[in-house]
Amino acid sequence: MIRLATIQFTPRLGERQANLDAIQRLLDPVEADIIVLPELCTSGYFFVTREELAPLAEAPGGVACVFFQRLSEAKRAIIVAGMPEVAEGRFYNSVFVFRPGLPEPLVYRKAHLFYKERFVFEPGDTAFPVIRDERLDLSIGIMLCYDWRFPEVSRVLALGGAELIACPSNLVTDAWRKVMPARAIENKVYVAVANRAGSETKNGERLDFKGGSAVYDPFGEAVVLAASSGDVVLVVEIDPRICSDKSFNEFNDIFADRRPELYGAICRKR
């Protein structure tokens, strides 16, 4: 069994060090093999210009990257954290994955930008990564918040071998509560949603974040579920062996039964 910690956290907009200090306090007592934090957990979310985001954006080796890598080494844990990234003068809404013994984090850049993110971030140009960890005998797929709206993302990750999909999030709608369990069922994988709580206001507009962080099992059941507000650490044990068998009766297998040769066809009225 693998210990998975999913963190619901309320970052302070524009205050990286305060956010890192709060994350440190939350994680100090945590013993887990994998730790999943929310989207943009070091910076807060509601930026509308690149100028206000720029001082908080990270490249590998930056302040927050050093913090998380040290934490990963100290806890012998994989840490999945959403942070703003800067690369060659461009900004991305990214997930950094820190692993003990590996000095460079893996970086996934958000493919599907939500709402006003397009005014600040570039669309992601990375593939959807599946990370194989031999120590844990586990494959982890990464998607980021609004990526959940696109079933192709979780399917690509599952076809790539993911047994757990980690989804750092800053969710402000409610539809995901219905869809995230479906993403688990349709791929027979665990899905960990690390959502933030609280609210942020910019230019008179307020965004309320929905909390409700959860881990869904391969049958779509919420193994553990947070309230809509407050900072909390959800720790659960998962068994990735369940995910390797994609059958659900003696005749049907959700991957073997696929008909990809038909999926590109255009339906025509008769």
Catalytic residue among 110, 163, 167, 243: 110
Give CA separation, 21 vs 11, 95, 149, 218, in Å. Answer: 10, 19, 32, 34
Catalytic residue check, 41: no
How many Cβ atoms sit within 10 Å of the Cβ of residue 232? 16
Catalytic residue check, 110: yes
How many alpha carbons lie under 13 Å from residue 127 in its C-beta half-sphere?
Answer: 6
Amino acid at 27: L
SS3 track for 36-104: ECCCCCCCCCCCCCHHHHHHHCECCCCHHHHHHHHHHHHHCCEEEEEEEEEECCEEEEEEEEEECCEEE
Q: Tokens at residue 260, please?
A: 């990809």
Catalytic residue check, 243: no
Catalytic residue among 39, 85, 117, 163: 39
Helix (H) or strand (E) run with residue 244 in it: helix 241-244
How many alpha carbons lie under 13 Å from residue 70 in its C-beta half-sphere?
Answer: 10
Q: Tokens at residue 89, please?
A: 């003068």
Catalytic residue among 65, 145, 167, 243: 145
- Which residue, among 172, 176, 99, has the nearest Cα to 138 in the 3D structure? 99
Active-site residue numbers? 39, 110, 145
